[in-house]
Amino acid sequence: METDPMANRVPAPASALVPASARTPARPSGRRPFRSAVAAAALGALIGPAAWAQAPAPEAGTGPASPWGLGLGVAYDRQPYRDFDDKAQALPLLVYENRWVSIFGPRIDLKLPSAGPVSFRLRAAYSGDGYEDDDSPYLRGMDKRKSSFWLGGAATWRNEIANVSAEWLGDASGHSKGQRFKLQAERRFQAGAFDLTPRLAAQWVDSKYVDYYYGVRSSEVRLGRSVYEGDATVNVEAGLRIGYGITPKQSVFLDVSTTRLGSGIKDSPLVDRSSTSGVRIGYFYRF
């Protein structure tokens, strides 16, 4: 999703790291820039876990344009599972953007031709939704649920009121065989070196996704954990990103969010809360 949290979970795009006057660089000659973009895409997919799938790239100040950005982030997401061992994660972050490709952590976009104020992208993303049975005492005896790579597309309509984006992704790894669709609206406000971007989003996930990650199979039934087949549901998220430009090349951001879970997830015997929350803090340096 365009804006740019694991995201996926959508905040400002990675292009926000580059001044507006330089976000569409001249077409490079030869094959080296293309190869470097492919290499960066592979690295970005590896170093950024789910916590950053929905995280925003911070806005930057003015200065020499560069398609590259590196940083460090800390993310904490409260999972809905019972007695889950939630831990903060410190992670390196990679940003790269040219006229064809946009990378932010675990998300890679291939840019397509725009139609007026509406931009289109093909999207690949990694989402760490999986778990192992030792992540919670209540998950003991559950089969491992694997995290997935997702493929699909996104569109963003930029207008004077708010940026409205839509994203559809399907599970390319084949673990859940699920699909998800996200609709989001956000608006950025500037105040000196600070920028604030509130957002509101709704994400639909199909029954295959819910059943894989929140369902309970007959072989996994235990006392107090009955069979559960998930239904498609809609989660609603509200979030706020606060960015600050330290220098023209350096910026930091704080992103907080809360998500109200749909009934298909809340009704699972693996879940003991009706909402989740997340906090992400990051530092970026533009070259």
Domain count, the chain: 1
Domain span including residue 209: 14-286
In a domain, residue 3? The reply is no
pLDDT higher than 70, residue 278 = yes
DSSP string, 266-287: HTSTTB--SEEEEEEEEEEEE-
In a domain, residue 9? The reply is no
Q: What's the average model confidence in pLDDT over 128-134?
A: 90
A 10 A CB-CB count for 209 gives: 26
pLDDT higher than 50, residue 38 = no
In a domain, residue 7? The reply is no
pLDDT higher than 50, residue 22 = no
A 10 A CB-CB count for 113 gives: 6
pLDDT higher than 70, residue 29 = no
What pLDDT score does 87 carry? 86
In a domain, residue 6? The reply is no
What pLDDT score does 174 carry? 93
On the CB side of 176, how many CA atoms lie within 13 Å of its CA? 31
In a domain, residue 131? The reply is yes
SS3 56: coil
How much is the pTM? 0.78
Q: What's the average model confidence in pLDDT over 32-61?
A: 41
CATH code of residue 212:
2.40.160.40
Peptide bond before residue 8 is cis, with ω within 30 degrees of 0: yes
SS3 192: coil
Closest CA to 9 of 169, 178, 213, 139: 169
In a domain, residue 1? The reply is no
In a domain, residue 121? The reply is yes
In a domain, residue 165? The reply is yes
